[in-house]
Amino acid sequence: MKKRVVITGLGPVSALGEGADTFWSGIAAGRSGIDRVSFGEGDGALPRTAAQVPDFDPEKYVTQRKSLKVMARDIQLAMAGASLAMKDAGLAAPVAEPDRSGVIVGAGVLNHELDELAYSIQNSIGEKGNLDLKKFGQDGIPALFPLWLLKYLPNMPACHISILYDLRGFNNTITTGSSAGLQAVGEAFRILERGDADLMLAGGADSKVNPVGISQYQVMKVLSKAAETNPKNAYKPFDTAADGFVVGEGAGFLVLEELEHAKKRGAKIYAEITGFGSSGPSGCATAMKHALEEAEIAASGISYLQACGLGIPEEDTLELEALEKTFGGAIKDLSVGFSKPNIGFTGFAAGALDLIVSTLSLQQNTVPPVVTRPQFKKSSSFQWGEKSRSKKIQHAMTSAFGFGGQSASMVIEAYEGV
Amino acid sequence: MRRRVVITGLGAVTPLGNNVKDTWTALAAGKSGIRPITIFDASHFPTKIAGEIKNLNTDAWTGKNGSFRFMGRNSLFALEAAHEAFKDAGLQKNKLNHERFGIYMGAGDGGFDFREYGEIVSRSIDQDSMSVNVRAYFENVLKNLKSAEVLEQEPSQVVRHLADTFEAAGPVSNCLTACAASSQALGEASRLIREGYADVMLSGGAHSMIHPLGVAGFNLLTALSTRNESPERASRPFDKNRDGFVLSEGAGVLILEELEHAKKRGATIYAELVGYGGTADAFRLTDPHSEGRGAAQAMRLALKDASLSTTEIDYINAHGTSTELNDQIETHSVKTVFGEKAKQIPMSSIKSMLGHMIAAAGAVELIASVLTIRESLIPPTINYETPDEACDLDYVPNQARQKKVNTVLSNSFGFGGQNITLIAKRFES
């Protein structure tokens, strides 16, 4: 018999602020955390519309300064998200049953800080202005921060979190691009379901709101131009005028527990996870199909869909086609929301933050608004509103697709105490 | 009844050969794949040696297709090994139920051209402040980097290419838990089959950290051997004079299959994957737990999962990195789990020959474990010369050993504290 798995803690960190209450009030009110940001002197040439976590202070979550020094901002955000989720679940460090508790983080290549390399590289320039590896070997390497590698290894967020909370069970780092956060939660669900743990902390963290990240996205030509002049209103996923995304940053973490474990400690239960599917880069519809099959409901049984809605025209078209394939005629009645106009595209964190939105929507029985009023390019469209509205949400689906990542989809269900 | 998971295909690209057969022949002969670094000029690095992939010919599947041009070494190795494994398993795309066929890799990042990038940074440095001018950097990046180049750095690209190439529409994932990654991927892939989410999984790992920043990063952590004058003798797990691990690169891919599915299509069954255990040290970023707490627990969980007692393990394929701490603590944790019996179980480290393929290491080690069962031959730990009192087990020194082996326990411990143990067993219907 497969174990039942419930969500008992939420830890969002985004441009809307820190913690579930702040997050939900921003989402429900249709606020956008997107704004013009600064990258210091000479940043005039860069795209500077982004969704940055306001006044983020990592020392609130990481008390040891020595540890902070070896954490890229992504890792600091992960620590914040994990800490908020655990606190929300009423859990403190260290956990009571370390061997039965684990962590899975969605991550990937972390951006380095530019000036960290500058001195080392300056030491390594040959006479013709080329990078001379002989000089780098001799004078460049000693000029690097000795623990440089630790700061950027993708598995480090999960390591730091496991040390902070003494999580000695399964420890994994999922690197599937923009689906990584949701995939991480899906894999934690599988581990609990098969009985290999009782408690899993899962989610993702990402920060590309820096010159390295912005420059790379610009090389890939995926950033919205319109949002440069109109930060609050121009990021429009699924819109006929969609022209790319706005980069965001943040972390989304959830505490998952085996149902009996949660009940025994009297935990607050947000929802039950009943289905998950993942597939390859072109497998949006397959991932949704598998999640629905596992949840044993028809597509028409989904009362709320948290869409991916990246805002890249080709990706949006693929997602709409997958939705049409999955929902058929029911798509016209489907209530849909998407968070990227509120919090930007948060990369490895995106799927987990979206799962937090749908978890709160389900718990509050509220369909959150879509802030940028999309004009659809296709005749078929789903239900969305400019204002929050009440609706009994029994089943919610969350999807994370595309942009170099794989496809993932999850179904959660209202938990009614049986 | 629980669904059984068997191994039906193998593929490898290693410093000892660009396929399974050549790799195994060299392992059995106790050869080293470690040489001076040629991928870049490492002549002035503290470490100048590594296990590189040489003469890889991917024409069979790349053809003239230019889309492979920007692929990282990780993706090239993965695709090559996957083609070998897929063929070895006798799988045919048109006969597979694509939605029941998935991919779970432990693949590393694609790396990037450090010289090109270094020059971008150097041209952007403001000489007065010695800091990077953001505008100049941005403009230099746009001028020099290509979209595909940037995208290929992400570890997710490996599974993306594999899923596209082999038309896998079932569960797809990639994990990157440092040196434990591909073992963890194989463990999770086997669970997906056992729990009924897939019938066939292509799983393993691929990685290359033999680039200037990779070598520099590990050098700064003083983790690498600097025995530059004798590359073939540099990786010496459990030897008293070991001085760090030797970086290498490559890929290992296995086809995992649900038993009935394999039988129905008459597949050759190499072995059964019967045990998987995973833990975290939750101790320190750089050092394993001093008592090997997490390592021992991973072995216990895998044994329990396999319903095997400690007396039923015939051979241990060690993580055996050739670092001071790993080898000592792995030895200690094996003794903790196996007690007095530990000394009677042969335990070798093929990293002595292959070096450390980081994310790809575990998959190649599972392939070697499977072949150990099949060939009744235990590959040696080479370069074992001087016993270390803290490492007092039977490491199968220097010479392969003939022995009937029915069960193999294979360890992989990640930098940062992830511990994975897999157990493979001779297949009995």
DSSP A169-235: S-EEEE--GGGHHHHHHHHHHHHHHTTS-SEEEEEEEEE--SHHHHHHHHHTT-B-SHHHH-TTT--
Number of domains, chain B: 2
Q: What pLDDT band is residue A399 in, cutting at 50, 70 and 90?
A: very high
Q: In A, which residues are within 8 Å of B280 by CB distance?
A: 102-103, 158-159, 162, 167-171
Helix, coil or strand: residue B323: coil
Which SS3 state, helix, strand or coil, does residue A143 take? helix
Residue B148 counted as domain residue:
no
CB contact under 8 A, A149 and B278: no
- Indicate the residue of A121, A163, A281 with minimum beta-carbon distance to B164: A281
d(CA A16, CA A22): 7
pLDDT over 90 at A166, yes or no: yes
**Could you tell me what percent of chain B has a pLDDT over 70?**
99
In which domain, by residue range, is B131 found?
Answer: 114-142
pLDDT of residue A379: 57
Mean pLDDT of chain A: 94
Q: Give the C-alpha separation, A126 to B236, whole Å.
A: 37
Q: Complex ipTM above 0.85?
A: yes
Structure confidence by residue, pLDDT tens digits, B345-369: 999 999 999 999 999 999 999 999 9
Nearest to A280 among B115, B136, B164 (CB): B164
* B23 inside domain: yes
CA distance B30 to chain A (A): 32
Quick count: other Cβ atoms within 10 Å of Cβ A38? Answer: 11
Same domain flag for B237 and B267: yes
Structure tokens at B267: 């597949």
Which tokens hold the place of A90? 């009423």
Q: Which fold has domain A5-110+154-413?
A: Peroxisomal Thiolase; Chain A, domain 1 (3.40.47)
The domain boundary residue, chosen from B88, B122, B142: B142
Given B179, B207, B211, B391, the catalytic residue:
B179
Mean pLDDT of B293-299: 98
pLDDT, one tens digit per residue, over B170-180 is 999 999 999 99
Chain B closest-CA separation from residue A244 CA (Å): 15
CATH label of the domain that carries residue B209: 3.40.47.10
- Residue B291 CB-density burial (10 A; 0-12 exposed, 13-18 middle, 19+ buried): middle
8 Å CB contact of B142 and A218: yes
Assess whether B107 and B118 both reside in one domain: no
- Encode pLDDT of A64-100 as tens digits: 888 999 999 999 999 999 999 999 999 999 999 999 9
Least confident range from A13-27, A397-411, B23-37: namely A397-411
Q: Which of A108, A166, A215 sits opposite B155 (nearest CB)?
A: A108
**Per-residue model confidence (pLDDT) at position A375:** 81
Q: Which tens digits make up the pLDDT trace of A37-46?
A: 999 888 888 9
pTM: predicted TM-score of the whole model, two decimal places: 0.97
Residue A384's pLDDT band (cuts 50, 70, 90): confident
B253 shares a domain with B106: yes
Report the DSSP beta bridge partners of residue B424: B273, B408
Burial A284-294 (b: 16+ CB within 10 A, else e): bbbbbbbbbeb
* Amino acid B301: pLDDT: 98
Q: Does residue B50 lie in a domain region?
A: yes
Which residues in chain B have Cβ-Cβ distances shorter than 8 Å to A163?
Answer: 282-285, 417
Top pLDDT among A374 and A117 is at A117
In a domain, B147, yes or no: no
Confidence category of residue B67, pLDDT binned at 50, 70, 90: low
Return the CA Rg of chain B: 21
Residues B220 and B355 in one domain: yes
Which residues in chain B are contacts of A122 at CB distance < 8 A?
122, 125, 130
**Residues B220, B261 share a domain:** yes
Q: What is the pLDDT of residue B64?
A: 63
Nearest to A237, CA basis, from A323, A108, A151: A323
* Residue A417 confidence (pLDDT): 81
Q: Do B343 and B226 fall into the same domain?
A: yes
Verify whether the Cβ–Cβ distance A154 to B155 is below 8 Å: yes
% of chain A beyond a pLDDT of 90: 85
pLDDT tens digits along A118-155: 899 999 998 888 999 999 999 999 999 999 899 999 99
